[in-house]
Amino acid sequence: MEQDKVSKIVNSMYTPDITYTYDGNLNLDLIEPLQVGVPAITDLFDVIQGIRCGEYLHYINPLTQVLSKSSGDCNPVYTQAGTITDRRLETGEFKINLEWCEAEFTAVCTALIQKYIKPGVDGYELEGALMNLIFKQVITTAKKDVMKVTFFGDNSLGAGSTSIYSVIDGVFTHFFDSETAYCVEPIYNFSAAQKLHNSVMNADQARDILELLWNNSSIILMQLPDSAKEFWVTGSFYNNYYKSVINNCCVEGSWEAGQNGIKVLKYRGIELKPLWFADESLGAATNVDGNPFYDDIRHFAVYTAKDNHVFGTERASDLGNLTSCMDCRTNANLIKGKMRFGYNFRQCDLISWAK
């Protein structure tokens, strides 16, 4: 009986592209690339674990009135006063499937091989410093991917789409859907020109938008303590407001801000959290990662309560967990990850946003 043939995986990651010819001493340390960072998930969302397929979030609507005038007899009137509503938090499955092959890494003989690849059959297996660097880069990139999907996911792309954005509905898809239902309505809309990827904000525009968000937010959001609220903003929005603080604040305060910097930028005591990964995706010269909101949103600000947004996951540790194994049939090192996560918010009137 003819044995099944094993197809060789050809998409090997991190193969040398060395062009030098040098007969002196070489520095063989691998320099780690700098990447755009992301905030911790717990800085933005209330994390709920144990959600495999989906879960309903139940919200008790506040009572508007419970007192009534006494009827003066023994026949009081009873009325129905409150309701409980729900929102479904859907999770989707995501995987990491990468491969590294010693033969492809050593196809061109470089000085790196002697330091990072063991001789003989021991070199087949990815290990040591090279493995640690590759794993670190995979996990760092995965964290950024998780955050991008959480904010920009759009399930309406359909099951036929291969885009990571097609698995779940993210923050802005939920916001737009709720806008249609008069739930989360934007306080400010950027012009069509300022929604384009290469657009810039006007002088003091961020400062003026923050004032609009504050003044037009719901009373329930406005009255919360500052520590319970935050602004989610693009880096472009953050820089625009920072410039206003330096230029227009006050003589001494502006000078100190320009000289010493501001470790935590705030408006009315509420912290602004810049989401630089959004600028990397929405402000790219081309839509390289297929972001469904590219050229529809470029700058944004969300004024909200911290605990109003739920990130659901089957197991939080899966978000940064990788496993690897070597396939002796192909000599390929397989790097794999698997996770489930999704997003929804609890309450409409705890969100005020500009897009």
**5, part of any domain:** no
**70, part of any domain:** no
Domain count, the chain: 1
Rounded Cα gap, residues 133 and 115, in angstroms: 14
Instruction: Name the band, by pLDDT with cuts 50, 70 and 90, for residue 1.
Output: very low
One-letter amino acid identity for 347?
Q
Which residues have C-beta within 8 Å of that of residue 312, sequence separation ≥ 6? 47, 48, 49, 51, 55, 89, 91, 341, 342, 343, 344
Which tokens sit at 278?
């959004």
**217, part of any domain:** yes
Q: Which range among 138-142, 197-201, 322-326 shows the weakest confidence by mean pLDDT?
A: 322-326
Q: State how far the alpha carbon of 127 is from the alpha carbons of 30, 53, 162, in Å.
A: 15, 35, 31
- Mean pLDDT to the nearest integer, 312-330: 90
**34, part of any domain:** no
Domain that holds residue 295: 41-59+84-354
Condensed to tens digits (0 to 9), the pLDDT of residues 216-241 reads: 999 999 999 999 999 999 999 999 99
The string of DSSP codes covering 177-208 is HHHHTTSS--SB---SGGGSTT--PPTTHHHH
**Chain mean position to CA 195:** 20
**Chain mean position to CA 88:** 20
**27, part of any domain:** no
**21, part of any domain:** no
**311, part of any domain:** yes
Q: Tell me the three state secondary structure of residue 98.
A: strand
Rounded Cα gap, residues 10 and 317, in angstroms: 30
**192, part of any domain:** yes
Instruction: Name the band, by pLDDT with cuts 50, 70 and 90, for residue 5.
Output: low
Condensed to tens digits (0 to 9), the pLDDT of residues 23-40 reads: 555 566 777 778 899 999
